[in-house]
Structure 1
Amino acid sequence: MLELLQNLNHWDWLALAAVLLILEVFGTGGYLLWAGLAAALVAGLKFLIPELAWTLQLPLFGVLAILTAVYWWKRQRTSPALSDQPFLNRRGHELIGRTFLVQQAIVDGRGKIKAGDSVWMAEGPDAEVGTAVRVVAQNGVVLTVEIVT
């Protein structure tokens, strides 16, 4: 084993990088991507500095793997995830502030409104069918409305 370590060359590191990146394709969630990148970096260093001892290669691989992973983790946490559909998977939030007509009279604070092609439960002041109401909040599948004056 010691003889194998003493004879590590850049091809060994490139092979390790390739194996790690291939395994990453099978869905490890990014964990092996950074280790594969670190192995490729060590391969590049070993190619540029052929006399680099294995006692430096292994710790360098570990440090580079950690540094690349931490760098990406920090970058992901600081950059905002902008979307062209900010209310995707938050159904109903896009209705807040919009005006709709009462579909089923709001009596004792409960009724229904028609929003687009859907009918939503609504709570708010009593209102007759056809009254214009504005959505002010959402609580689960129930929209809170106020009468538009």
Structure 2
Amino acid sequence: MPEVLIDYGWWILGLVLLALEVAAPGVYLLFFGIAALIVGMNVFVLGTGWFGWQQQIIAFIVLSVAAALLGRRWYGNKSVAGDGERLNRRTARLVGRQAVLTEAIVDGRGRIAIEDSWWSVTGQDMPAGAHVRITGADGSVLVVEPAP
């Protein structure tokens, strides 16, 4: 039994780490799981006579670091395109949209209704019912201008 564990221990460890990666958030255990599977493959090909446990541990450490560096390089260059960068900034995703003033802008302040929400707006004075375009946001206050 111990010989079987030595022969297949790295594969078992690699598969357990990959299974935990699926259950755990983030990308941490993936690189260690890949390194363990590579060491397990080398133990299978070379045998424990040529590839002793000391070399296996060193190979696991080196491969884990190499996999983590390659993963960082691969995932570090990926940027989310589109609306993902504005996902948690509700005011940023409203920029560019047009709306109708529900309350006139008086002394630079008014209100509009968009998507079942009321928003305070700033801009030049305009009557209620005027069409405006959202050009920016200052915190939770939208900046508007007359729509063309």
Shorter-chain-normalised TM-score: which range? Answer: 0.7 to 0.9
1:73 equivalent in alignment to 2:72: yes
Give structure 1 regions of 4+ aligned residues with deviation exceeding 6 angstroms: none
TM-score (norm 1): 0.82
> Aligned in 2, Cα 1:28/1:148: closer, same or farther, shift over 3 Å?
closer
- Of residues 73-82 and 58-67 in structure 1, the stretch that sits farther from structure 2 once superposed is 73-82
The equivalent of 1:135 in structure 2 is: 134
Q: Give the percent of matched residue pairs that are identical in Structure 1 and Structure 2.
A: 37
Structure 2 CA distance for partners of 1:16 and 1:89, relative to 1, 3 Å = same
TM-score normalised over the length of structure 2: 0.83
Cα offset, 1:19, TM superposition: 3.3
1:27 counterpart (1, 10, 24): 24
Provide, for residues 99-145 of structure 1, a one-character-per-residue CA deviation record: whole Å limited to 9, x for no partner. 21111111111110122432210011111111121111012211001
- Structure 1 unmatched runs, 5+: none
Residue ranges of structure 2 left out of the alignment (5+ in a row):
none
Matched, 1:45 2:36: no
Distance 1:133 1:47 in 2: 70
Larger helix percent: 2
Between 1:102-111 and 1:47-56, the stretch displaced more is 47-56
User: What's the counterpart of residue 110 of structure 1?
Assistant: 109
